[in-house]
Amino acid sequence: MIASMNATAFDRNLIARYDVGAPRYTSYPTAPHFRASFGEAELLRAIKASNGDPIPRDLSAYVHVPFCLSPCFYCGCARIITHDRGKAAAYLTRLHREIELVAARFDRDRVLAQLHFGGGTPNFLDVEQLIELVDSLERHFGFSRDPGREFGIELDPRFCSEDYARQIAAAGVNRVSIGVQDFDPAVQHAVNRVQSVDETAAVMIGARRGGARSINLDLIYGLPRQTPESFAATLEQVIALSPDRIAAYGYAHLPERFKAQRQIDKYELPDAATRLTLLQQTVEMLTAAGYVHIGVDHFALPDDDLARALSNGTLHRNFQGYSTHAACDLVGFGMSAIGHVGDTFSQNAKDLVGYYAALDNGRLPVARGLRLDDDDLVRADAIQQLMCSGDLDVAAFEERHALDFPLYFRESLRQLRALEDDGLVESSPARIRVTPRGRFLLRNIARCFDAYAESPDIRYSRAV
């Protein structure tokens, strides 16, 4: 395992050199490689095959609520801005229909061990609507009785009362993730998201009262008008709120891909050197405050499940970042939601018209996807090992996949040599280990094992 979790060593010059485009590897292959030739029939086949496993995997559900009341300019998510709360009813009708259709395909003993509401803004729905969704999922799938089950939701405190958060948590949602991004009013105005510390604290208090066991705050560095001083103040305020987890994402400015980002004045964005300073002080302040660097952009208090999973080697990576749950089959509900059943990835229609049309005709709204081939599976495993445990045991890997590691990965290992010279990894014939300084650059390390890394027409956000 990783020798010392907090020994994340920050090296400015080094990190600057690795500030190139790289996927976040919440899946491998990554979503841009999904194909339209994968549809409903392929997903149904994958579900059927997964039901036939001797011990079928538990299920994890992701439910996408695409609506937002107000556009945050940095956002790259699939979302729809509206003030018409009535839109929720039409969407929910389809969501319930989708749950019913999908659940019928999974064997009855396959319970939900994980549930995540994301968006958009899940709290665009009112408490009753949300609880109705939870009930519907429980009725159709059944919930795992494992106390370690993870039921999470993303909440926007600007539109969420303390009581809302309390009721949601009391209904069984035990993890709450709250978007903060930055507490500085100048930055907040530049990104069109004005939100006070008090509003944020109220949601945290409500969630804890309702029984939530883990609260995460999201931050973004690299936003317009951020300075090291202003962001230090935000970090202090965040630490004072003492969330169990903190995610600090690097802002990816891709205005040609995400329309909302065109509202951002690119001359107000911090330059590369400032971005690095922002990241560096984030790491230093959070680790000084006792947070463990889990990997990439995630931090957690040492007694949080995530930090425990890291230290005992049971950490997993999924579309929500990191997770303590082992191989579940992931089912995505709602517009643009991604699923991962057996050896397949699938994604729902990315617009309401396509999503509604499929369900209104009694079909699953799968728009694209991918069946992983043998090579994909081998590389996905290598990437998972490195991004989660930071340690790859060569002999065990060879045994699992019946291959000759140095021969199979000779190109990857050649690329990795440069990273090894920079002290990001240590490799011997027996194992590859990520060093503490390498934990910042896991995306770059994983990229060495990515057969699609050189695809010409896909742009990724910068790794730092």
Least Å distance, CB 49 to other proteins, is 8
**DSSP 3-state of 60:** strand
**From 246, 306, 378, 446, residue interacting with other proteins (rule: CB under 8 A):** 378
Please list, residue by residue across 54-89, b when 16 or more beta carbons sit within 10 angstroms of its beta carbon and e when fewer do.
eebbbbbbbbbbbbbeebbbbbebbbbeeeeeeebe
Q: Does 56 bind other proteins (CB under 8 A)?
A: yes
Q: What is the gyration radius of the CA atoms in the chain, in angstroms? A: 21
**From 13, 109, 362, 421, residue interacting with other proteins (rule: CB under 8 A):** 109
Q: Does 163 bind other proteins (CB under 8 A)?
A: no
**From 197, 408, 451, 452, residue interacting with other proteins (rule: CB under 8 A):** 408
**From 84, 146, 375, 426, residue interacting with other proteins (rule: CB under 8 A):** 375
Q: Does 55 bind other proteins (CB under 8 A)?
A: yes
The stretch among 47-55, 198-206, 211-219, 276-284 that binds other proteins (CB under 8 A) is: 47-55
Q: Does 377 bind other proteins (CB under 8 A)?
A: yes
**From 53, 135, 163, 411, residue interacting with other proteins (rule: CB under 8 A):** 53
Residue with tokens 């999201």: 218
**From 3, 36, 353, 407, residue interacting with other proteins (rule: CB under 8 A):** 407
**Residues sharing a CB contact under 8 Å with residue 135, sequence separation 6 or more, in sequence order:** none
SS3 percent helix, strand, coil of the chain, rounded to 5, is 40, 20, 40
Least Å distance, CB 408 to other proteins, is 5
Q: Does 44 bind other proteins (CB under 8 A)?
A: no
Comparing CA positions, the residue from 133, 140, 199, 141 lying closest to residue 172 is 133
Q: Does 374 bind other proteins (CB under 8 A)?
A: yes
Q: Does 360 bind other proteins (CB under 8 A)?
A: no
Beta-bridge mates of residue 118: 64
Backbone torsions φ then ψ of 156, nearest 5 degrees? -105, 110
The stretch among 106-114, 291-299, 360-368, 422-430 that binds other proteins (CB under 8 A) is: 106-114
Question: Is 250 within 8 Å of 221 (Cβ atoms)?
Answer: yes
Question: Is 75 within 8 Å of 119 (Cβ atoms)?
Answer: no
> Nearer Cβ to other proteins, position 54 or 86?
54
Q: Does 36 bind other proteins (CB under 8 A)?
A: no
Q: Is 331 exposed, middle or buried (0-12, 13-18, 19+ CB in 10 A)?
A: buried
Q: Residues in the site for other proteins, rule: CB under 8 A? A: 49, 51-56, 107-109, 374-375, 377-378, 398, 401-404, 407-408
